Amino acid sequence: MKGLAGKRVVITGGASGIGAATVERFLQEGARVAVIDRDAKGGRALCRKHPDLAGVIEADVSDPASVDRAFNDLDGLLGGLDVAINNAGISIRHDFMDITPEEWRRVLGVDLDGVFYVAQQSARRMLAGAGGVIVNMGSTSGMNGYPRYADYNSAKAGVIELTRTMALELAPKIRVVAVCPGYVWTAMQEAEYTPEMKAAVDAKIPLRRHARPEEIAALFAFLASDEAPYITGHPVIIDGGEIAGGLASR
Amino acid sequence: MMKLENRVAIITGATSGIGEASARLFAREGARVALTGRNEARGREVASAIAAEGGSAVFVRADVRVPADCRHAVEETLHAFGGRLDILFNNAGVFHPHNAIDCTEEEWDETVDASLKGAWLMSKYALPAMIAQGRGVIIHQASGWGIQGGDEAVAYCAAKGGLVVMTKAMAIDHGKQGIRVNCLCPGDVDTPMLAADAEARRMSYADYMKGAANRPLGRVGTPDEIARAALFLASDDSSFMTGAALVVDGGGIAG
């Protein structure tokens, strides 16, 4: 991708899943990549796998003080910021009637508050520098209803609207875009699904399969690069056609 | 590494603007390109320019409103490039600035037939070859005005809105056959179509462009920026995207 070589990039939740695939893609593109993740062990494994990684900072994106410390460390590692990939997220599969206030707060805390804290810290540095690109992790869950994920869906709908508003306020110096994946085969997904459930979902997706994490990483790379200089303020759906007809939610 | 190596692409309306920029970019990325359009002289010039850069291109004269022309364009492409067809970019379109009262039946038909019916006809004739290969990519040129409404553009908005939903319908039908179908939704782009619209609205191009630049990024788009988005949708970098509308408009419809 044009213009990613040498870019200073932070990826939250980069120790596993889509985040780890995105780290690998940006390193291949020649970017300087640092990761923020609360998983210290996963972070050390990532550093061993990628010796060219600028570093992994242990932090919880749902805690503003933790994010503040992480960005101070990040300044030391990268000396500025060109691209922020707001990828960290969690989900809990539970019925609406069973959601506890603590669970609701935890999911919204990571998936929406965390995106806000990281985006604001990132934008502060980009505005002080030459500008940049912030890509937030939305989801088709923020566009359609899905049973058993009321908290997650609400957070993702919030991320999409946060993206639009940030794009309007931060233009033209900063582009802000959201990536909205459908089903992606990651450890997070694997923990929640039986093989039968996966097959049933695959059958409803027009491309007949889940996404590979690398496919989401490729969209992050495109949107963050100079291949997409006129794209800002929009959610980009990458779902194998799933919500083109709302099939998977039936 | 080239992104479209060994791929064969048809780009309609490739004699100027976004179509021409896309044909040149796709060829630079390794694709063999069939260009269609109504202006034969201009089409041959673009094909020659691509060949001069070391690319491979043919021009096939076609009016996408005419079924026989669409069928012929697909047949000529298959004939020229060894029976392959990997990418169809339905870019051709026309614009008449009119509201529902002013729009004539001829203008309505030309607008809707060139953008919407033409995209369907080209897909109808291209899909069998793609399905036989087990893979293919179709990109429709929609518009931000296919998602939100615009002023004095009733037929254009109807056609572009139709394309956004036709994209989803085709994605559902042909996903299992390995075909991806997406659309682009550009904002105002500095092309001959924009200059013609300024003239039709009796505005100076400078004043028109000032209004068009009134969006978050503060400028109109370039044909190359839209071509790069088309390249992304045509390439394997978007292998899980289908049924989507990629908005490339400087934030124009975000607020």
Q: What are phi and psi of B196, to 5 degrees?
A: -65, -35
**Chain A residues within an 8 Å CB radius of B249:** 230
Interface test with B, best of A179, A230, A236, A247 (most B CBs within 10 A): A230
B221 to chain A, closest Cα gap in Å:
7
pLDDT in tens, A130-140: 999 999 999 99
pLDDT value of residue A198:
93
pLDDT value of residue B176:
95
Kindly determine whether residue A237 and residue B249, on different chains, have CB atoms separated by under 8 Å.
Answer: no
A92 to chain B, closest Cα gap in Å:
25
Residue A155 CA to residue B72 CA, distance in Å, equals 50
pLDDT at position A250 over 60: no
pLDDT in tens, A164-176: 999 999 999 999 9
CB pairs under 8 A between A and B: 128
**Chain B residues within an 8 Å CB radius of A215:** 239-240
Residue A207 CA to residue A195 CA, distance in Å, equals 18
**Chain A residues within an 8 Å CB radius of B244:** 236-239, 244
Residuewise pLDDT in 10s, chain B (255 residues): 899 999 999 999 999 999 999 999 999 999 999 999 999 999 999 999 999 999 999 999 999 999 999 999 999 999 999 999 999 999 999 999 999 999 999 999 999 999 999 999 999 999 999 999 999 999 999 999 999 999 999 999 999 999 999 999 999 999 999 999 999 999 999 998 888 889 888 999 999 999 899 999 999 999 999 999 999 999 999 999 999 999 999 999 999
ipTM of the complex in this document: 0.94
Looking at the complex, does the CB of residue B247 fall below 8 Å from at least one CB of chain A? yes
* Pair B230, B22: CB distance under 8 Å: yes
- Whole-number mean pLDDT of chain A? 96
Residue B201 CA to residue A213 CA, distance in Å, equals 48
A238 closest CA partner among A213, A112, A230 = A213
Task: Check whether the bond before A213 is cis (ω within 30° of 0).
Answer: no
Task: Give the chain A residue whose CA is nearest to the CA of B235.
Answer: A218
pLDDT at position A248 over 80: no
**Chain A residues within an 8 Å CB radius of B237:** 218-219, 221-222
pLDDT value of residue B193:
86
**How does residue A249 score in pLDDT terms, banded at 50, 70 and 90?**
very low
pLDDT value of residue B63:
98
The average pLDDT across A180-190 equals 90
- Residues 178..237 of B with a Cβ closer than 8 Å to A: which? 180, 187, 216-219, 221-222, 225-226, 228-229, 231-232, 237
Kindly determine whether residue B238 and residue A219, on different chains, have CB atoms separated by under 8 Å.
Answer: yes
Kindly determine whether residue A219 and residue B222, on different chains, have CB atoms separated by under 8 Å.
Answer: no
pLDDT value of residue A180:
98
pTM for the whole thing? 0.96
DSSP A62: T
**Chain A residues within an 8 Å CB radius of B218:** 171-172
A11 closest CA partner among A49, A39, A37, A45 = A37
* Pair B17, B191: CB distance under 8 Å: yes
Active site annotation includes A152: yes
**Chain A residues within an 8 Å CB radius of B169:** 244-245
pLDDT at position A246 over 80: no
pLDDT at position A184 over 50: yes
* Pair B32, B56: CB distance under 8 Å: yes
Strand partners, B136: B179
* Pair A216, A22: CB distance under 8 Å: yes
- Residues 151..180 of B with a Cβ closer than 8 Å to A: which? 167-169, 171-172, 174-176, 180
Interface test with B, best of A143, A185, A234 (most B CBs within 10 A): A234
pLDDT at position A190 over 70: yes
Residue B181 CA to residue B191 CA, distance in Å, equals 25
pLDDT value of residue B195:
87
pLDDT in tens, A106-158: 999 999 999 999 999 999 999 999 999 999 999 999 999 899 999 999 999 99
pLDDT at position A247 over 70: no
Kindly determine whether residue B172 and residue A234, on different chains, have CB atoms separated by under 8 Å.
Answer: no
Interface test with A, best of B172, B177, B182, B240 (most A CBs within 10 A): B240
pLDDT in tens, A32-62: 999 999 999 999 999 999 999 999 999 999 9
Looking at the complex, does the CB of residue B149 fall below 8 Å from at least one CB of chain A? no
